[in-house]
Structure 1
């Protein structure tokens, strides 16, 4: 990246008092100028393969509503996916949902490592540093990773409006969020849908599991975040779900 380009990590409302630490692995879709847009046109650079549509706005709204910190990535996951294990083959995808990314397919190991060092490492370090600061100060910490998903993939419609992902570590908070959403008969909430949290995910497993921090990875369908009304609606819904789950979690 050139010296005048934005840093890879954006921190909204630093050192905020909320127990919720909001994360956005795929919130941005910038591509460093020197990468020549990865050879992609604007339509490809703005569709779901490049970022989690709506999450930058949703995270900012939740940060303000909850008085919470929101740490999010500036650059596109097509440059490097910060929710993948460093060095993993799929962290720099040569193909994404049928779109070939020639600049990634031809990337040599040295340049792949340079991307990880410039973009992925600072992002993960910022999360780790803030967690340690919070724990040292005795601040309650619940990790909330915000994501969005395309309404259909490879011709298959996805019926869920929201999904809650969880796996190992202390998953009680995530399960409490599922219980909240299950109370709405008009809402189709996915339990580890449309994705499951498994060995592919990196951010939550890396930061939450060994520390036994409560967590949830939230997936909202992208068509529901297409405008200000949608952002406001899901800010309300997620705020309610987070507060409900925190009350349930602290009673356990």
Structure 2
């Protein structure tokens, strides 16, 4: 049995915050190549298979914000829940120099099977959580590798990504940039404008308040780092929401 494709923490939490983690684990369900993608343990531990440390940060943030968390329980290499169903990178065959053996010859039927088994149930559950709240606020948590192969080092400790809706991103960036020891990426290490991704689907298209945070994964590779960064981010997230609400009044 593959087990659930996602986990929900504190579904009935009292606050407006819903904290999401699209790439929480590197687990490969048994129905996908017998539980292996044909990669080494070292490759499966890399950022290509999951967002290292993001799941732990997500759980801590939800707890500290009195919110709900939803986390995937399948590797992004099985099928990427942060991509639209028609995105060519939905099922990766080559990622950061590594060939994904179990995906090289995956046909449309296998792609559809993985969508039905993993991708769609996660999005359906996330939408149900959001729809059950009167005015939800989404915080999506991701992590990024300090350096892609053959590419420059990425200096940012934290990045804030957004598309056209900057209602929560702008006050959060301003608060983070007020800390002199933080190197803050604004739409870095890449842009937050990705048609069909999770924020496009659940936030932008529905007018929901949201923010997407990227943390450099060497900073959150262990429990201590995950807790530290969650505790550091919480007052800025809460403050950014307060700034938005005050500006609207």
TM-score relative to the length of structure 1: 0.93
For each residue in 1:205-241, what CA deviation from the matched residue of structure 2 results, as whole angstroms up to 9, or x when unmatched? 1111132111110000001102222112101111011
CA RMSD, Structure 1 to Structure 2 (Å) = 1.2
User: 2:80 touches 2:119 (CA, 8 Å); kept in 1?
Assistant: yes
The alignment status of 1:149 with 2:141, answered yes or no, reads: no
User: 1:9 touches 1:123 (CA, 8 Å); kept in 2?
Assistant: yes
The alignment status of 1:248 with 2:247, answered yes or no, reads: no
- Name the residue aligned to 1:72: 71
- Name the residue aligned to 1:32: 29
Q: Distance in 1 between matches of 2:148 and 2:88?
A: 22
Stretches of structure 1 that go unaligned for 5 or more consecutive residues are none
3-state SS of 1:71 partner: strand
3-state SS of 1:33 partner: coil
Shift of 1:6: 2.3
- Name the residue aligned to 2:108: 109
Residue correspondence of structure 1 range 57-206 to structure 2 within 5 A = 57-135=56-134, 140-155=135-150, 156-168=152-164, 170-200=165-195, 202-206=197-201
The alignment status of 1:221 with 2:220, answered yes or no, reads: no
3-state SS of 2:168 partner: helix
- Of 105-114 and 61-70, deviating more is 61-70
Q: Distance in 1 between matches of 2:238 and 2:87?
A: 35
3-state SS of 1:89 partner: coil
- Of 233-242 and 73-82, deviating more is 233-242
User: 1:164 touches 1:219 (CA, 8 Å); kept in 2?
Assistant: yes
For each residue in 1:62-118, what CA deviation from the matched residue of structure 2 results, as whole angstroms up to 9, or x when unmatched? 122222100110000000000000132211000010000122120010110000010
Q: Distance in 2 between matches of 1:235 and 1:66?
A: 10
Q: Distance in 2 between matches of 1:115 and 1:228?
A: 31
User: 2:16 touches 2:133 (CA, 8 Å); kept in 1?
Assistant: no
3-state SS of 1:147 partner: strand
TM-score relative to the length of structure 2: 0.94
Shift of 1:163: 0.1
Bigger share in helix: 1
Q: Distance in 2 between matches of 1:32 and 1:74?
A: 9
Q: Distance in 2 between matches of 1:102 and 1:91?
A: 15
Q: Distance in 1 between matches of 2:166 and 2:210?
A: 7
Shift of 1:201: 5.6
User: 1:150 touches 1:221 (CA, 8 Å); kept in 2?
Assistant: yes
User: 1:143 touches 1:214 (CA, 8 Å); kept in 2?
Assistant: yes
